[in-house]
Amino acid sequence: MSHHSSPARAARLWSTVAAAALVGGTVISGCSAPGADPAAAPTAAAGPTQASEVTCGTDPVTMKGYFETGFPLPKNLTDEFTKQFPNVKWDVREDQFAVITQNAPRVLSDDPPDLMRLPQVSELVKDKLLLNLDNYAKAFGWDAWPASQLAQMRVSADGTRGTGPLYANGLNFSLTGLFYNKELAAKIGMTSAPTTLAELDAVLAKAKAAGITPIDQFNGGATGGLAFPLQNLMAAYGETGAINDWIFQKPGATIDTPSNLKAAQHLQKWITKGYFADDINSQDYAAMMSAFIGGKALFIFDGDWESGNLDKQMAGKAGFFLMPPSQAGGKQGAMSAPLTYGISAKSAHPDCAAFFLNWVATNQTAREITVSVGGSHPMGPSDAYMPAVKAGTVTAATLEAGAKVGKDNGAMDFIANATGAIYAKSWTPNLQKLVASKQTPEGMLTSVQKDYEAQIAK
C-alpha cells in the first residue's frame, strides 16, 4: 500500500491501547542486541522475555530508519517518541514504496536500518534479513492482541505467510476503499454511498455525463495504483480468503480465477468507458491526491492513512465508503493490513526498535496520533484506549468501515505483497498496458500468475 501495501499500505487494516505503564517507568540498560548475535543467527528469536528488559536506555541513541515517503504518520510518531525519550534521535531515509520494494534486500544486507517500512516479507525472511520478534512478542504481550493483526507478518519455515514466527509489527491497521467529494456527488444526485456494484456503475456514468471525472487514480512510473480498484473489484466478485491464500503463497493458489477475471473485465470496462482521468498512466500518488483535494474528481481508491489529511484539507467535503458488493447485502472486503515495519537482522539497536513498536501500540499519545494523523486503528490489545473521533468526519467513516470489514471477515493483504517483485515487475506494467489497450484482462492475470510462480520458485 503502500500499499501498498502499500500502498501501501496501501494499505491497508486494522485495534487499541493500554496505558504507557506497560513500558513506561523502567528505563534501564542500553540498546545492545539481546540474546544471540543477529548477524550470526538472524532467524533465531531475539530479545529477552520481560518487558522491563527492553528499553532504549538513557545513553544517546541514533536510530536509523528507512521509511515510505509521502506519509506523515511515521515522522509524527518518531517526533513524539523523541519528546518522551530525548536520548533517542532518528536518522530517517525515505523512498517511494515501489523503490523500497526493489531496494529492501540490498538495504537490509548492506546498510541495515534499525527500523524499516517493509514490502512483502517472505523472501526477506528466507534470506535471513529480518529479526525474529517472537521473544519481543512474549515480553510485551503482543501474542495477546487479536491474532488477525499480526497474522500477515508471520512466516513459517516453508515460507508460507500467516503462521509461524513473527518478523514485523505495524504502526497502524489500515484499510482501503473509495473516498469521494461530497460537493461533486451532490451535483449528480448521489446522497448516500452506493450499496451494489451496479449502483456504483450508475454513479460513474452520471459523473461522466455531467463532465465530472469519475475516478482519478495514480498509475504512473513504478507504482500501478490501478491495483487498488482491481483488488476492490476482486472482493466484490469473489471470496477474500482465496486472494489471501495467493498472497500468502499457499500451495496451488492462483490469481487467475473466474471471479478475478470478472473483476479485471469490470476494471477494463471502466477504462474503456472513460471513467478514469485521461492521464492516470503519467500520474504519481502525489498528483492524484492534489487533483482530488483540488476538486477535480468524484472518487479515488485509497487508504485510511489519508483520513486525517482529508479532514484538514477538505473539512466536511470528503466522504468514504467500502467497495459495494456485486449483490445487494453481500459481504464486503477491503485491502486491509498493518503498516508493516520490521527490524533488520543486523540492527545496531533492536531493543530500542522493538520498544518503539510497542510504544506506538500502547502509549496513549501515540495512539491519538495514529488516529488523528493516520486516520486508522492503532495496533494493540482489543480493550486498549481509543481516542474520541468527531462524528461526520472522514476518520469516523474509515474507522466504522474497518469494523464492518472485521465483522465480514473481509480483510485482505495487498496483492502487491505476494512476492517481493510482483508489484514492480508484473502488476504495474500489466496494469499500465491495460490502460493503453496493449493487454487484456485474461492476458494480465495469466501473465501475473506466470511471474508469481517463477518468483516463488527461486
Please answer whether residues 296 and 288 qualify as being in contact, where contact means their C-beta atoms are separated by less than 8 angstroms.
Answer: no
Q: Which of 94-103, 211-220, 298-307, 419-428 is predicted least confidently? A: 94-103
Top-confidence residue, 121 or 357: 357
- The mean pLDDT value for 403-413 works out to 85
pLDDT for 48 equals 66
Task: Please indicate whether residue 9 or residue 154 has the higher confidence score (pLDDT).
Answer: 154
How far is CA 394 from each of CA 217, 309, 384, rounded to the nearest angstrom?
19, 9, 22
CATH superfamily of 2-370: Periplasmic binding protein-like II (3.40.190.10)
pLDDT at res. 120:
74
Higher pLDDT: 33 or 380? It is 380
Average pLDDT, the chain: 87
Q: Write down the pLDDT at residue 47.
A: 61
What is the structure's pLDDT at 294?
Answer: 98
Neighbour-count burial for 310-325, b at 16+ CB within 10 Å, e otherwise: bbeebeebbbbbbbbb
Per the CB < 8 A criterion, the answer to whether 56 and 88 are in contact is yes
pLDDT digits (tens, 9 = 90+) for 200-254: 999 999 999 999 999 999 999 888 999 999 999 999 999 999 999 999 988 999 9
38 or 225, higher pLDDT = 225
- Using alpha carbons only, give the angle 205, 299, 402 rounded to the nearest 5 degrees: 125
Cell of 308: 486525517
Which one-letter amino acid corresponds to residue 382? S
- Determine the pLDDT at residue 441: 98
Contact 61, 87 (CB under 8 A): yes
Q: What CA–CA distances, in Å, run from 352 to 112, 136, 168? A: 15, 11, 14
The residue with greater pLDDT, 33 or 136, is: 136
Q: Report the SS3 class of residue 224.
A: coil
Average pLDDT for 130-143: 96
Q: What is the dihedral of CA 50, 348, 421, 405, to 10 degrees?
A: 30
Count the helices and strands in the chain (H runs, E runs).
18, 11
Residue 331 CB: number of other CB atoms within 10 A?
Answer: 16
Kindly report the number of other CB atoms within 10 A of residue 7's CB atom.
Answer: 36
Nearest to 183 by CA among 314, 375, 303, 305: 314
Q: Strand, helix or coil at 319? A: strand
Per the omega criterion (within 30 degrees of 0), is the bond before 377 cis? Answer: no
HSE at residue 15, side-chain half, CA atoms within 13 A, is 21
**Please, what sign has the CA dihedral across residues 321, 325, 328, 332?**
negative
DSSP string, 48-82: -S-GGG----SS-EEEEEEEETT-SHHHHHHHHHH
Whether the pLDDT of residue 362 is over 80: the answer is yes
> Model confidence over 241-284: pLDDT tens digits?
999 999 998 899 999 999 999 999 999 999 999 999 999 999 99
Distance between CA atoms of residues 352 and 37, nearest Å: 16
Q: So what's the pLDDT on residue 6? A: 36
Nearest by Cα to 333 from 258, 408, 253: 408
**Rounded to an integer, what distance in angstroms lies between the CA atom of residue 168 and that of residue 338?**
10
Q: Give the span between the Cα atoms of 285 and 288, in whole angstroms.
A: 5
Range of weakest confidence among 44-58, 190-204, 296-310, 329-343: 44-58
Share of the chain above pLDDT 90, in %: 69
pLDDT band at 382 (very low <50, low <70, confident <90, very high): confident
Residue 33 clears pLDDT 70, i.e. is over it: no
**Confidence tier at 16 by pLDDT (50, 70, 90):** very low
Q: Quote the cell numbers at residue 417.
A: 505483497
